[in-house]
Structure 1
Amino acid sequence: MNQSFEIDSGTEFLIWHAQCSQDSAGTVCTFDVTSAGIRQIKDADREFVEVVVSALGLAESTPLGWTVERFYSPYYALSPDARAWEDRLSIVWRMAIRLNGVGEAFDYFGRMPTSVDQTDDTWDQSDESSWEMEGANCILIADGRSGDVQRVREIFPGNDISVLEYRDAVPITQVRINLGILGFPEQEELVQSGLSSCEGLGLATHCRDTCFRDMRWLM
C-alpha cells in the first residue's frame, strides 16, 4: 500500500465517515476521529467540538451535547503491514454530537478524511494511561456491500456487530465487529485471523483501501 494522505501542517486530528441523522429533537452527527500526530481526545471540550462542527460545514448549528467513545482498530493504522503489533493498530474515538438543527445537514460527508487543527484541553498529556489500549474494545471495521453482512455474521456468530450504510456515489456498507477487550500481544492473532476472514470475503479492511480503491468493485 504505497498511497498515503497529504496532511496539512497544523492538522491535529482527522474526521472519518461523518454522517448526520435528524429527528424531532434536532440533528445528530456521528463520526470517527484519529490523531494526526501525538495529541489525543478525552472528553472533548466545547471549543474542540465547535471547530469539528465548523469543519463539517455545520457552523450555523449549535452543539447541544456530545459523547466520546474510545476504541482501537487496525482499520486506521498508520502502518498496517508493520512488524510490531502496536503499529498495526490505531486508537480511535467515536463521537456523536447533537446539534440544534439550525442550518442544512448532510447525509454522508464522504470517504476522504477531514482535517481539524484544534486540540482537546480535557486530555492530559502527562497521563500515561491514555496511551494504553488496555480497557478499550478492539473493533474490526470492513467495507463492502449490503449482501456481505449476513456472511460476516456467520463468521463471527458470537460477536457484537454493527452495520453502517454510507450513501456515497457508490453506496458502502460498513460492518464493525467488536472483538471485545483483548490482551496483547497474546491475543493479537485474533485480530489477524479476523482480518483474514473479512478479506477472504472481499471486504476492504483498511481506510486507505476504501479511500483510494476504485469503488466500482462494489457495483
Structure 2
Amino acid sequence: MSKYPKITLATAMTPDTPEHYAALVDQGVSTALVTVHMSEFAHYPAGAIHARVARKAGMQTCACLITDLKSPVIDARAFCTAIKNGVFTSNKVAIVALPLCEQKDAQKRLEELIQYVSCYVDQNDILVGLTKDCIDKHYFDIKRIKQNLMVVCSGTLNAGIDRTSVWLYETKVDSEDAYLGYDYYGFFSDTSYQLTLDSEYIAQPGDSWVTIATCQGIWLPKLLELNGAQYSQEVVPGQRIKIR
C-alpha cells in the first residue's frame, strides 16, 4: 500500500451513497474533491449531497471546478459563488482544466481563471489539474503554473512528471467507475511526504514493480528501465531496486 494519502474526485456521475464512500474509506481515501461546477452544468446540488455523505464517512471535503476554458470568467464566477456557501471542510480547492482541442490560448485562459479564483482563495490553496495528454501536446507550459499541480492519467501508471503534487487515475471502486489520486506532497493533509532521495529501495514481501513505482513516485517504465527489468519479472524480497 502506498505511504501517500489518497483522494477521490466526485462528480454528478459518482455514486452518492454511504456504501460507496465507505468503500472509498476502506481503500484509504481521506479527502474528496467534490465538483460543484462544470462548464455549462451546475453541479452544486449534487456536490452538496456528496460533501455531506463524504463528511459522514469521515473524509475532509474540498471544492472542485471542471472547466473547458471556453468561458473562464463565467466558470470562475459560478464556482466562487458556490464555494462561499460553507459546505466544505477545507479552504483548498481544485481546478481541472479540460480545454477544447481547437483552443490555441488555453494557457492564457487558465491563468485568467486562476486570477479570478485567487480573489477568493489563497494562491497556495489552489490545485491545478491537467491531463497528461494536454501536457504532452503542449497545450500548457507547466513551468508557468505557480500553483500545485495535479496530473490526471487514464491508466494506473503514475504521471511521470517530477513536479506532480497529486496524481489522479481512473479505476473502479465497488464495481463503480471512480477517480482516485495519490497526494504525493501532502497538499490536502498539510503533511510533508517528500519523495525519498535514496538511490535504492530494498524490496519487501508483497512488493511488485507497480507498488514500488507508486510508493516511490517513479514512472513505471522508467523504473523498469533503471533496473533492466521486464514487467513480467517478479520482485524478490530483499532485492535492491534502483529508484534514481
TM-score under structure 1 normalisation?
Answer: 0.29
Higher helix share: 2
Q: Which has the higher relative contact order, 1 or 2, with Cα contacts under 8 A spaced 6 or more apart? A: 1
Larger Rg: 2
Higher strand share: 1
